[in-house]
Structure 1
Amino acid sequence: MTAVAPAGIRFHHGSLVIPAGAVHTIPLGYDRDSVPIGAPLPLAASAELVHRLSGCGEVVAAFEGKLGDTLLALSGIRAVLDWLRLRLRSVRVSVRAVGPYAGLIARTGLITQPQASAPSGWRAVIGDRTGVEAHGSEAAVSLVLDPAAPPCWSSDGRAHPDLPARHYLALERRLGIRLPGTAPFAPTLATGPNNLVEELRSVGWLGGLTIAAITATSWPERKDYTAQRFIALAEHIAEAQQAQARLLLIGGNPGHGLRVTAEAPRRHVQALHIDGMPADGLVDLFPHCHLIVGNDTGLTHLAAMARGGQDRGGPPVIGLYARHSHSKWRTGLSHHHAVATNLSDRMHQGDLCPVRDAIAPNSDVHMDAFPPAALAQVGLELLNEVGR
């Protein structure tokens, strides 16, 4: 579903399939659905890459940069591991993660248990540029997963604009065989018990209608929606549902550790600021919410990838996109939606980036383009969709 919101901003449902002809794409070079899993592609593989990966006994995931870039690149790790399983069935490859995101990466299921003996064979290091430079000095092969590199691919009449799809399909082409992955290509993050979550539950903060709003951003002058707008959004939703809402305002880590503070209760909303909670803890918290709204930032991507319980379910997540492409900077998961300005739509259609392509800002760039009342209508539709 793609709809025009009351204020003229556009809502893009996470399950929407984008036709190849609607956006600027690069043809994948083969009809993916018609190629059997494990079969050679009608494209030449990168012989040197295949040679070096074939001799690897260890894969190291090394990310040191931005959280969002890291999460959206984990499909590249998945692609290499899928290829190794298809190509080297009799060889056990050790997989480990290093750096600040090692714990998060372990939650994807991509990491194997440590081997009793040292891995045999070459080492492959896969990550962002900073991580590869820090850990790739002894590697036989290094792969940098740069978010600016892979284009928007198209195959079988559909576009694959999200970054997890771009990374996965780019490596499939380079490795030369049809890999088993299908959309969505992003791995999910397993959840578990957490002390703060249990404390919040015990005092009633996770009872009833619970909304999480992500206020953290590395670019506040461009992407700060502000706590007051999120509170107004929650007021609209709670009033429409004739309920009292709990609003969790999720901030970043200012370097002072975990800090939890409550605002004075409003008519329909009780708001709690949670600042400095580690990403691992937020993975455990997000699935307990009914709706999550956040700017285009790493914690919003994290919320979409956090899936809890036996059914691996979670709440709908809405990302707010004022300047960047709403399709590229999403996980591709069906519950990860977008509300976007006209500028974001144009970045999506032309596969452009206002930073990489030095596109001057205009009147569409500010977060006040998203009135809380308009966002509340989108949130209510999604809550009703989950309830059906």
Structure 2
Amino acid sequence: MVAFEGKLGDTLLALSGVRAVLDWLRLRSVRMAVRAVGPYAELIARTGLITQPRGTTPSTWRAAIGDRPGVETHGSTAAVSLVLDPAAPPCWSTDGRAHPDLPARHYLALERRLGIRLPGTAPFTPTLATGPSNLVEELRSGGRLGRLNIAAITATSWPELKDYTAQRYITLAKHIAEAHQTQARLLLIGGNPGDGLRITAETPRRHVQVLRLDGMPADHLADLFPHCHLIVGNDTGLTHLAAMTRSRDGSSPPVIGLYARHSHSKWRTGLPHHHAVATDLSDRMHQGDLCPVRDAIGPDTDVHMDAFPPAALAQVGLELINGVRP
């Protein structure tokens, strides 16, 4: 039983740990049924890890794997429980290569714990399958998706430190649209406003048409992100979600994560199209494998998202859209 109840980002980056356990059981030829419970069950099903329909009950012993809230909620009747804690696994080095991202940490830590070389190779992150979406078709038929679609994630649980702000994203989109000599569709992805899904179109600007999407379920966003040409977001779960989605042909748009305080290498999927722009503080967290929260490290400057000028960030985005950067 896969049981996650905590943060979306922690859940997505821990799914490689679920993959490791399933890889181990398959090597041992253990027959198993896998089901997910909790608020992320529909998303987890998109990874292909689930082999049993939701709501059915196994007839033999159960093992629970997930975060601490999920295991505490659903694991009371399990024969064994495994908690995937993002603060626990260290950075691993194997075969002459360092693996600092959390999905690699979870997978390789379990490989060490089980004492056997598992078949997985980097990147260890499961990807999320997408399909036809009524919402995408509605946006497309309404002219809200165009030749250049940019998604910008404004949702965050720490807005005073992680909110890049809508105005900066609009300026960024304007630079990219001007370079392509077209009008960009900027999708501002917000959190849950408390009253469900809300789509609001702003008055079109010369180079940017802004559409605010608030309260959109994560599984709907998973279907929307592959229709974008660039996705930019702060270090948050929806940015990780964007990096893990793929279209039916297996392609994925470039994703840029903005890292002001936390390690730009640890809090990433490890997928090749998931990039990072980081402050000096974030790079110090990367080099020392530190966490500003866990290790009580305060910033040495008041600059947070101000460290990423929209024009400079737009240049990075342009290079990714044009295929210049790997």
Give the structure-2-normalised TM-score. Answer: 0.97
Question: What letter is aligned with 1:328?
Answer: K
Matched, 1:380 2:321: no
**Paired residues for 1:52-201 under 5 Å:** 60-87=1-28, 89=29, 91-114=30-53, 119-201=58-140
**Paired residues for 1:279-294 under 5 Å:** 279-294=218-233
Q: Which residue of 1 aligns with 2:250?
A: 312
Q: Which digits, 9 at most, give the CA deviation of each residue in 1:25-74, with x for residues without a partner?
A: xxxxxxxxxxxxxxxxxxxxxxxxxxxxxxxxxxx000000000000000
Question: What letter is aligned with 1:109?
Answer: G
Counterpart CA distance in 2 for 1:217 and 1:259 is 17
Q: Which digits, 9 at most, give the CA deviation of each residue in 1:272-311, with x for residues without a partner?
A: 00001100000000000000000000000000001012x2
Match of 2:216 among 269, 272, 277: 277
Is there any run of 5+ residues in structure 1 with no aligned partner, and where?
Answer: 1-59
> How many residues in Structure 1 have an aligned counterpart in Structure 2?
326
CA RMSD of aligned residues (A): 1.7
Q: For residue 266 of structure 1, report the CA deviation from its aligned partner.
A: 1.1
Q: For residue 118 of structure 1, report the CA deviation from its aligned partner.
A: 5.5
Counterpart CA distance in 2 for 1:116 and 1:317 is 34
Q: For residue 326 of structure 1, report the CA deviation from its aligned partner.
A: 0.3
Q: Which residue of 1 aligns with 2:287?
A: 349
Matched, 1:338 2:279: no
Q: Which digits, 9 at most, give the CA deviation of each residue in 1:232-262, with x for residues without a partner?
A: 0000111111111110000011221000001
Counterpart CA distance in 1 for 2:6 and 2:242 is 19
Percent of aligned positions with the same letter in both sequences? 84
Q: Which residue of 1 aligns with 2:307?
A: 369
Higher alpha-carbon Rg:
1
Q: Is the contact between residue 316 and residue 382 of structure 1 (CA under 8 Å) also seen in structure 2?
A: yes
Q: Is the contact between residue 193 and residue 284 of structure 1 (CA under 8 Å) also seen in structure 2?
A: yes
In structure 2, the residue corresponding to 1:93 is in which secondary structure? coil
CA 1:138–1:269: 2 relative to 1, 3 Å: same
Counterpart CA distance in 2 for 1:97 and 1:69 is 16
Counterpart CA distance in 1 for 2:265 and 2:157 is 20
Q: For residue 92 of structure 1, report the CA deviation from its aligned partner.
A: 2.0
Q: Is the contact between residue 222 and residue 365 of structure 1 (CA under 8 Å) also seen in structure 2?
A: no
Q: Which digits, 9 at most, give the CA deviation of each residue in 1:184-213, with x for residues without a partner?
A: 000000101211111001122222100000
Q: For residue 117 of structure 1, report the CA deviation from its aligned partner.
A: 8.8
Q: Is the contact between residue 325 and residue 346 of structure 1 (CA under 8 Å) also seen in structure 2?
A: yes
Question: What letter is aligned with 2:312?
Answer: A
Question: What letter is aligned with 2:281?
Answer: L
Q: Is the contact between residue 94 and residue 115 of structure 1 (CA under 8 Å) also seen in structure 2?
A: no
Question: What letter is aligned with 1:180?
Answer: P
CA 1:84–1:210: 2 relative to 1, 3 Å: same
**Paired residues for 1:318-329 under 5 Å:** 318-329=256-267
In structure 1, the residue corresponding to 2:242 is in which secondary structure? helix
Q: Is the contact between residue 3 and residue 74 of structure 2 (CA under 8 Å) also seen in structure 1?
A: yes
